[in-house]
Structure formats: structure tokens, C-alpha cells
Amino acid sequence: MARVAVVTGGTRGIGHAIAVSLKEAGYSVAANYGGNDQAAQNFQSETGIPVYKWDVGDHNACESGLKQVENDLGPVDVLVNNAGITRDAMFHKMTPEMWNDVIRVNLNSMFNMCHPVLGGMRDRGYGRIINISSINGQKGQMGQTNYSAAKAGIIGFTKALAQETARKGITVNTVAPGYVDTDMVADVPEEALNKIIAQIPVGRLGKPEEIARCVTFLASEEAGFITGSTITANGGQYILG
């Protein structure tokens, strides 16, 4: 029987590519989304992957949504925490709402999504959790103190949870994409985007499918010796020693 994988923010952009890649690798995939019903229906029609709507920033909603997935498809063995939003502003102009919205969706969702599935993974002695961070969680970015803080927090969360779960057959890893050709990046003004691309040694934006391949590998049984790690897929824009 196919292992069940849940991808949050799974109907658009990087999440879309991850969900499709996991399905092609033989997983039974559920794609979560938060708001764009039309995009979700188009995704489901195109891919045949079932979609589930809930707010990853709401713990009760995550519990209910994951319970529905498990009722429909079976126990969740692979969780990809991909959902994320931006509310960009220079810090002195940032409102509490802009800060709290990003922390709630991008960071609090780590607890909200992992907590309901972890007990089952521990009982079964198997699990794969892959959290999507960002280059800006590693190096910071002007106008994104909220986003950078949340994405850096994901890396710390991953390292801690990996240590707690390693002996239970559960791996927890992070993928930190650089600038990838998605709707989120398309919103960046052209002049600013050209400056960003000029700083990427490979000379281009990443492709969602390239991030998806990293996730699909980490989700595999063959990746069982890798945990607490961060894969930086950013075209050489930011290299950690």
C-alpha cells in the first residue's frame, strides 16, 4: 500500500511541484491549501490529487484536516510543511498584524501540522518530515524581518525535532530554496528581480521541480540516515561553510 504524503500549500508554486513529484514517486498525496479555491480545483482536475482546505495557522483546523486525510487515505507517513506567506515592509513601517500573520502561518504551522501526526509516526516507527525554509531565513533580507525570522525558526525547529525523533525511525529535514520562478517571485518588480538574478552564480531563477526533487529524495526510505539537515538549493547565491 502506498505511503500517504501531505503537502501544505500544495496546489501552487513549489508545493504544486512537490505534490506532483511525490505522486509520480508512488505516494498517495493530499494537497492542503488555504484560500484560492479556483486554483485548488484546477490543480485537482489537472493532477488527480485530492485537495483539502484548512488554515495551517490554526491548530484545531490542522487536527481536523489531518484526521480527514487519514480517514480518506490512511495514516500520514510523509509531511511536507511548505505553506507560507509574505507581508513585506521595512521594520519601522511593519505593523503588528504583518508580523503576526507571517509568524502564524510560516512558523506556528510547524507545531500545528507536526503535532497531530507525530504520535502515529512514533507508534509505527517511521516518518518523514520535510520543512521548507528559505535562503532569506539563512542570510536575512531587507524588508522581511518577519519572513526571515519565521524561516530561520523553521531551521531551529527542524534540528531540535530531528534529535527527538531519530531513534523512532523519523527523519526531520529542511530544504531552503533560493529564488524560484513562482507567483511569489513574479510579484517582485522587474528591476529588483534582475538585480537578484545577477547575484545568482548559475545565472537564473530556480525551477519548482528542482526543489521538488530535493523533497522527494528526503521523503524516501533511502534517505533514512539524513536528519536534522538543511539542503540549500539556491544556485550558489548563498553558500554555508
How far apart CA 196 and CA 188 sit, in angstroms, is: 10
Respond yes or no: is residue 147 known to be catalytic: yes
Backbone angles phi, psi at 102, to 5 degrees: -70, -45
Strands of 76-81's sheet in order across: 51-53, 28-33, 4-7, 76-81, 127-132, 170-177, 230-233
What DSSP line would sit under 198-219, residue for residue?
A: HT-TTSS-B-HHHHHHHHHHHH
| Alpha carbon separation from 216 to 7, 97, 129, 148, 207 (Å, rounded) | 11, 34, 11, 25, 15
How far apart CA 25 and CA 44 sit, in angstroms, is: 18
Which listed residue (27, 33, 147, 179) is catalytic?
147
Helix (H, G, I), strand (E, B) or coil at 43: helix
Instruction: Cell 511548505: give the residue.
Output: 82
DSSP 237: S
Instruction: Catalogue the active-site residues.
Output: 147
